Each structure stands twice: as C-alpha cells, then as structure tokens.
Structure 1
Amino acid sequence: MNTVKIQFLGASGTVTGSKYYVETPELNLMVDCGMFQGLKELRVKNWDPLPINVTQLDYILLTHGHLDHTGYLPRLLKEGFKGKILGTSPTLAITSIILKDSAKIHEEEAEKANKEGYSKHDPALPFYTLKEAERTIQLFSSVENDEWVILSSNVRFRTKYNGHIIGATFIELEIFEKRFVFSGDVGRTEDFLLAPPERPEWADYLFIESTYGNKNHPQEDVEAILAQLVNKTIHQKGNLIIPSFAVERLQSLMYQIWMLYKKNKIPNIPIFVDSPMGNNVLSVFERFPTWHKLSLKEYHSMCDHVNIISSYKETWETIDDPRPKIVIAGSGMVTGGRVLTYLKQLIDVESTIVLLVGYQAEGTRGKQLLEGAHELKLFGKYYPVKAKIEHLESLSAHADQSGLLHWVEALKNVPEKVFLVHGEPTALDTFRSKLVYEHNWQVHIPKLYETIELMV
C-alpha cells in the first residue's frame, strides 16, 4: 500500500482560492492554483507563502482559467516553482489573458495607491507584475481533452468537458489505479453558449465544488427581465451597468442582448463592452469553435452589434455620452476592473440601474450592493448608492444543487470518501446533508490547510 497526502490550500470553507496539493510516492502536483478574493481576512492570505516545499512540485493541473483557480500561479514561481502547468488549450489561452490582465490591474492599483496615498503599505506593491505573469505563461503545456496523460509510472490524468466556461474541465487523476476526481467548477446543463457538462463514471475519492450546494437557481424569464430593464433604461434616459465576469458571462450577455434585438424585443440601444480581458476572451471563442455552440457567422454578427471599448479614453467618452445605453464591464463581483470607473461616476444617479449577474462572494462590493449598501467604497472614497440594484441569479455559470446532484448520479460506484470544497459554510453543510441523506456517502468538509492521508 502507498500513501497519498492531500493538503487543502484554498477553497476550503470558502468559494475562492482553489488549490489542492497532492503528494504521491512518485511525484508532487497541485490541482488548480487560485488566489483568494472577497473578504479581507482571505485576501491577506494571498501574501503568505504556501506551507509546502514549492521547489519539489512537479506539475500543476488546471481545471479552468478563472482567477480563483489560476491567479496564484505567478506567486508560485516567486516561491521557486519550475515545473509544468498543464491544461486544455482554451484553458491555457484564458489563463494567459487573465494573468496578464490581473497583473496590469495589480500594477495600476499599486501605482494609484502610492500616488494618492490611500494604502497602509509604503510603498504599495503589486501582487505580481506583468513580467512575472509572462514568465509563468512560458511554463504552460497543453493537453488534449479526454486523453490520458502519463506523469509517472503509476500516476496519470485526463481532463473531461465540464461546461462552466470555455475550456473548463473536471480532472480524473489516477494514482496507483485509484481514481481521484476533482470537479473544478461544474457548468449548467442548459447554457446559451456551452454544451452540458460531461459526468464522471467512477471516483474512489471525489472532490466536488459546492458553490450552490444549498439552493437551486430561480426559474426566471431572463429574456423578459433583460428586455424590461433595457426598456426602463431608455424610458428614464439612464444607464444600465452590468458588472460582468470577462469569461463566458460577458459573451453570454452580449449574445442574449443581441438576440433580444433580433427578436425585436428591444430597440437598437447603444451597447458598450468595456473589458480589455473580455475582448481578448472573445478571440478565444473564435480560435476554439468546437468548445462552444456559436457558429462563426453568429459570432461575427454578435460582435458587430456592440461597441468594443479598447482604451481608457473611450471609457470616459462612454461615461460622458448622454444617450441611454448598456455598459457591460468587468469585474463580475465589482472587485476591480473598468466597472469601478463607471460606478464612481454613476452610482449616485437615480436613473442608473446596476444589474448583478451570478454569484457574489462574501466581502465583495457586489455582495454589499446586493444586501442594500447605502454607500460604496471606490478608490479609497465613499459614494452614495442612489442607483437601482437588480440581480439575475439564474445567469450563473455554476450548476445549482440539483445540477450538482445530477452530476454525481452518473457514478457507477460508491466513492470511499467525498470532500466538499469551493462553497460558503451554509452551502457546504446543506450539500453534505443532501449527499448523506440521498446517497449515504462518507462526506467530509475540509478546513483550510488541513492535510489528509489516503491509502492507495
């Protein structure tokens, strides 16, 4: 018998910072390498060195490109990582875009904090730089989806299509013939742009996300709600601001608004897409057509219908544009990005509508707005919230509780142990109860930095 050690370095008791350290007799690897977002008590942990010997790490396997699954990679290089970073081609393309974009934001925020003196740190430093992000990208190596990759004599893995965002997968890792399944983020069975997720058929040890482990998405008429908000914006000559995740959500919103116009449900209102990262992600859709549902003709028609903003100068021109308009801008939880500039100017205007789409983590500005905050802190100052705040939860790219249960129901065996990750405490506990009640499985909710030993 051999011992495999797994340490939970993130997404344990929270939804962010996914990273799992797997120590085997033959090699050491990590599944995902995300940074913490949201609550300050979590964000400060990003600055702590990991409690592992990073120089002995051979591989990092990525489920998908989101920041909370990849954003710690450049810091890992600073700590001495020299191995390979493996993922599907679209995942590595998305990760490249996200790391470069977040590096620029880190640099800009540090520069701004130093210039305006609102940081407690002197000087304020970027979490990582663009150069460090680019050095990280040089370690990328793509794998073919659904094909086994041999890492050592008794360790191999493969990726399986998982919906959620373009390139996203779950990972099946075989160690001495025992199968460890890491769900990554599970997508929806019905999605405007993506096919339904595939499902694992065997798992000796299952590590599954629980973002919506305690609830099902509401049955909303997304088309009707979007049309009503757009027409209301036109009527009151205001602005509809949609903070959006740059990957998938932004493209999905573009598609849905374009379809509303095509169906004659909204007039030809100006639509501005202001997310340098989102614009780059659009090119990934063009490069990897087999990973989504859009035809090339539909893709180009959709892009032609919106105004893609390419410079900060155009951001200000858009804010000054007096016409009623729709602005889709990053980031989705209002934690950073161009949307902050729009909100700084327009959050205190009563004719502004802010539409939040999808999950809002604890400690984010998006969560504060959702809970009825009367003021919002932006760039070190507080601004009164006079805008109307709306929420469309059914646009989430995550499977809900029913979707997660459906995902595990394809298993042909009873897992020896199930580990619930990537969820807030209430979601984790509710989903644990559900799995125990419906399947009588052995379920464990790991704590941050907990290490478990498994015999294989």
Structure 2
Amino acid sequence: MEVVGGNAEDVTGSATLIKTPEHSYLFECGMIQGEHTILENYKANMKYIQRIKPQELDYIIIGHLHADHIGMIPTLYARGKCNAKIVVPKGSTSILKEMWLDSSYINCRDIEVLNLKNDRCYEPFYTEDIVYKALNYVVEIDSDKITNLSNELAIRYTNAGHILLSKQCEIYINGHSHTRKILFTSDLGNIATQDSRIFVEDFQPVTSSNIVIGECTYAAKGRQCTKETYKKDIEKIKSVIEQYCVDNNARVLIPSFSLDRTPYILWILYSLFGKDENFKIPILVDSPLANRLLDCYSSILENSKKDLFDEMMFWKNIKRIITPEDSKAAISSNGAKVILSSSGMLTAGRSVKWVQSVLPKESDCILFMGYAGENTLAWKIKHEKEHKTININGKPYKNKCQVYDLCSFSSHMQRNDLINYYKSINCEKIFLVHGDSNKIEFKHDLEDAISDCLKSTKVVAVNKGTKISL
C-alpha cells in the first residue's frame, strides 16, 4: 500500500493505492489545492495522477465528497481504459455529480487562461462528458454493515461526522490464509461543534483495526476549537450583523465553501434571527454550486433533519441568487444585506466580485468563518490590514472594510480529540496522513499518549516514500 497523493506530506490531494497480487484498489483520488498558482496546482495534480494506472484499478473507494478527496477521479476515466467501480456512501451520487461538474467547469476555464497566458496547449483534467462517463461506474452502499464487493474485498462505512454523508471506511482484504482490516478515517468531524451541525451525522468511533490510515489535518498545537470559543463566535456573528446591517444599513460578506459550510452558516443565521419578526435583512446565497447543493441536501436528508432543513429554506429572508445578471444586480444594489458566496478562500467565484465591491467601503464588513490557504486572497485580506490596497486580478482595490476572522467553525476534528480517538483504537500501526509540518510533533505526542495507555501501537508519519505492508 502506498500514499500516492498530496496527502502524503500535505492536507489536500487524498489518494492511497492498495495492491494485492491479483488486484488494485484506490482509496480516494482528490485534487491537490495547496500550491500558489493555477499552473503549480495543475502540474502537481498531473504528476501524482500519472503514478496511477487506471486500467489496473478494480475499485475506487470514497470516504467523503470534498474536492480534495474526489476531484481527480474522472481524470482516470479520461486518461485510459478505466473500468473501476466507484464506491460511495448511499445518497452521495447527486452531490458527487455537482462537485465533479463544478470542478470540470473551473478546470476548463483555468486551462483556457493558462494557454492564453503561456502560449501552450495544456489539456483539462476532464470535461463534462467524462463526468457523465464516470458517473456510470458509481455504486452506492449502505453504512454500518459489511458489504462484500468481491471474494477479496469487503467494506463497512461508519460515520465520520465531518460533513453530510462523510464516512470512515473499514476495508477488509481477504488474503486466503487471513483477513487484514484497514481503517481509512478520511476526514473526521469536529466533536466540539457536533451538536450545532445538525445536518451532519454524529461521529462514531471505530474500536479496532490492523492498520489505521488516519488524518491529522488540524494536529498543530494551539489550534483548538472548544464549545466556549464556539459560543463566543456565535455571539460575535449576532453582534456584527446587528451592528453593520441593522444599525448601519451596511453589508456583511461571508465567504463560504459551497459544500457543508453554506448550509451550516444558514442554519446558524436562522437560529439567531429566524424567529425575530423584526429582522428584515436579506440573506443572499450567491453561488451556483451552493444553490445546487442546497437542492441536493433537501433530497438527501430524511425525517427530522429534512424537516429542519426545509423549515430553514422557507425562511423569507433567504434569497437565492442564480443567474450572473442577478448577481451583478445584487452587488450594485444599495442597502443592508448578508451575503454567502463562494469560494471560501476567495480563489475564484462570485465571492471575488463581492470583495471588489465591499473591500473599499469602510462601512462594510467581511466575516471570515473558515480556513484560508497562504497567499490566497482571503489570507491576504486577513493578514495585510496595514496595506492601503490589495491587488485583485491585477487591479488594486482600497483596503478599507472591517474584517473579522472567527475560528470555531472548522469541520475537522481538533488535536486533542484526534489523540484521544487514535489512542483508543486497538491496532498494530497508525499511519498519519493529511498533515503538514506539524505532523512529526503530533506523531511524538500521540506515541506518548499511546504509551501512557500501556499499548504498543506504532505511529508512522507518512511521507512520499512510505510503503505500507499489509
């Protein structure tokens, strides 16, 4: 087994290749999103995807539906004769389709820009027709029970608590004389805010495995979200909207990831203001992908979760902006409003247009509620308040608006909870993936915690050369 993607030494580009004497399986195949430029991201993704032989794959197994876990899968069907079945949690296909189509659109647009700028002929990872080709290979399976995929391979999905339909994957490889169990955590959910993320299934711990391939995205010391910090941030959201929108008739822009974060923020706003008949401020959802995913949520959710979701979406304050023309009109219109727009890091999308309008106005506000990669526009706005201007697409904009950065809304499991979970699993080895430079320090601290439990589990911080024996 080999971690072939960016998750060997960074937090994006999940891809792990499992080879037996007779078969090949791939656990996830996501986009690397951590480089500084479009071209660097393109080259990094092409470099790793070329290590995978599509024609040899039997199954591709998905833990959850963020682009850094699923975004490169159609490339395998574009590059060669790939007939691998794509295994996903039950209910996932509609979201998977929208995420792939959006990735295809963005990549094709980026390739056009690259080719014009560099006088080259780069090819897109995949096009819309390849998305529909790959969708023909998708197989949905139920959670919480072992499903035999072949004589050699079986799988059980268990709730990861990260986003809607996110799962840990217990994979059983039958080696004739014995069966080995591998636990892939994919991304794990933030336990501190679990009660507030009502559209996400609660995290369920797995107690035993031979090998654990575990994420450690938020393993750095000092990065900690607690129920107390979450409560303070909820109070801050309420006070910011009341101050800027209600009292000063101004705008609050919330850059938001389309999948999971947008419905989560909508629920927070509805919980704060939905029963207040005097609250007249419009809540704009200005993102084509986010709006399509909201429709997916409505069709996927069941029972009380669906009732609450539909109740929220019938809130008269929510205004869904669909067309580019309606988006331009909303940006140019005066008056108080709260805007949820993608992308969350301001790397592209309609949120960039909103920033161009909001950033120069001292009366307006940008409210960040998520991670921003270094050197993204969101990162620059957060960290360069002393700069009088910020360049956006080559044009300077005055840097005057107010900026707030709330840190309690991560959907990832936090450091202490990661240690507590991993030390509780009865296993032989834990291989840490999806971590940056803090991974080594986390490995040592996890080893100390395991030793305190009188266990002998070995912990390995994976790098690009790590080979894992089954």
Which one scores higher on RCO, CA 8 angstroms, separation ≥ 6? Answer: 1
The correspondence of residues 318-357 of structure 1 with structure 2, limited to 5 A, is: 318-357=330-369
Closer/same/farther in 2, CA of residues 154 and 108 from structure 1, 3 Å limit: closer
CA distances 1:203-253 after superposition (whole Å, capped 9, x unpaired) = 211111111112321523232111111122223433211111111110011
Which amino acid in structure 1 is aligned with residue 469 of structure 2? L
Does the 8 A contact of 2:257 with 2:342 survive in 1? yes
What residue in structure 1 maps to residue 2 of structure 2? 6
CA distances 1:372-394 after superposition (whole Å, capped 9, x unpaired) = 26454433444343222211211
Which amino acid in structure 1 is aligned with residue 50 of structure 2? L
Closer/same/farther in 2, CA of residues 225 and 61 from structure 1, 3 Å limit: same
Cα deviation, residue 23, structure 1: 0.8
TM-score if structure 1 supplies the norm length? 0.90
Asked if 1:73 corresponds to 2:69, the answer is: no
What residue in structure 1 maps to residue 43 of structure 2? 44
User: Structure 1 CA distance, aligned partners of 2:380 and 2:189?
Assistant: 26
Residue 304 of structure 1 aligns to a residue in which SS?
coil
CA distances 1:290-326 after superposition (whole Å, capped 9, x unpaired) = 4x96342552343433001111111101101101111
Which amino acid in structure 2 is aligned with residue 329 of structure 1? S
Segments of 5+ residues of structure 2 without an aligned counterpart are: 452-456
User: Structure 1 CA distance, aligned partners of 2:276 and 2:422?
Assistant: 40
Does the 8 A contact of 2:78 with 2:125 survive in 1? no
What residue in structure 2 maps to residue 268 of structure 1? 280
Closer/same/farther in 2, CA of residues 401 and 43 from structure 1, 3 Å limit: farther
Which amino acid in structure 1 is aligned with residue 233 of structure 2? V
User: Structure 2 CA distance, aligned partners of 1:339 and 1:275?
Assistant: 8
Correspondence for 1:436 among 420, 423, 447: 447
What residue in structure 2 maps to residue 187 of structure 1? 189
What residue in structure 2 maps to residue 404 of structure 1? 418
Closer/same/farther in 2, CA of residues 256 and 45 from structure 1, 3 Å limit: same
User: Structure 2 CA distance, aligned partners of 1:180 and 1:295?
Assistant: 33
What residue in structure 2 maps to residue 289 of structure 1? 301
Residue 28 of structure 2 aligns to a residue in which SS?
strand
User: Structure 2 CA distance, aligned partners of 1:104 and 1:453?
Assistant: 36
Closer/same/farther in 2, CA of residues 453 and 295 from structure 1, 3 Å limit: closer
Residue 395 of structure 1 aligns to a residue in which SS?
coil
Asked if 1:22 corresponds to 2:22, the answer is: no
Correspondence for 2:463 among 443, 447, 452: 447
Closer/same/farther in 2, CA of residues 38 and 233 from structure 1, 3 Å limit: farther
Closer/same/farther in 2, CA of residues 127 and 338 from structure 1, 3 Å limit: farther
Cα deviation, residue 161, structure 1: 1.2
**Structure 1 vs Structure 2 CA RMSD:** 2.3
Segments of 5+ residues of structure 1 without an aligned counterpart are: none
TM-score if structure 2 supplies the norm length? 0.87
Closer/same/farther in 2, CA of residues 358 and 403 from structure 1, 3 Å limit: farther
CA distances 1:110-162 after superposition (whole Å, capped 9, x unpaired) = 45667xx5x33445654432222222222211111122222332321111111
CA distances 1:44-66 after superposition (whole Å, capped 9, x unpaired) = 31133421322101111000110
Aligned residues: 443
User: Structure 2 CA distance, aligned partners of 1:27 and 1:371?
Assistant: 48
User: Structure 2 CA distance, aligned partners of 1:120 and 1:100?
Assistant: 26
Closer/same/farther in 2, CA of residues 148 and 163 from structure 1, 3 Å limit: same
Correspondence for 2:397 among 367, 383, 397: 383
Closer/same/farther in 2, CA of residues 410 and 282 from structure 1, 3 Å limit: farther
Does the 8 A contact of 1:38 with 1:364 survive in 2? no
What residue in structure 2 maps to residue 202 of structure 1? 208
What residue in structure 2 maps to residue 171 of structure 1? 169
User: Structure 2 CA distance, aligned partners of 1:217 and 1:293?
Assistant: 27
What residue in structure 2 maps to residue 129 of structure 1? 127
Closer/same/farther in 2, CA of residues 148 and 113 from structure 1, 3 Å limit: same
What residue in structure 2 maps to residue 315 of structure 1? 327
User: Structure 1 CA distance, aligned partners of 2:278 and 2:63?
Assistant: 37
User: Structure 2 CA distance, aligned partners of 1:393 and 1:203?
Assistant: 33
Does the 8 A contact of 1:10 with 1:18 survive in 2? yes
User: Structure 2 CA distance, aligned partners of 1:104 and 1:377?
Assistant: 25
Identity of aligned residues (%): 25
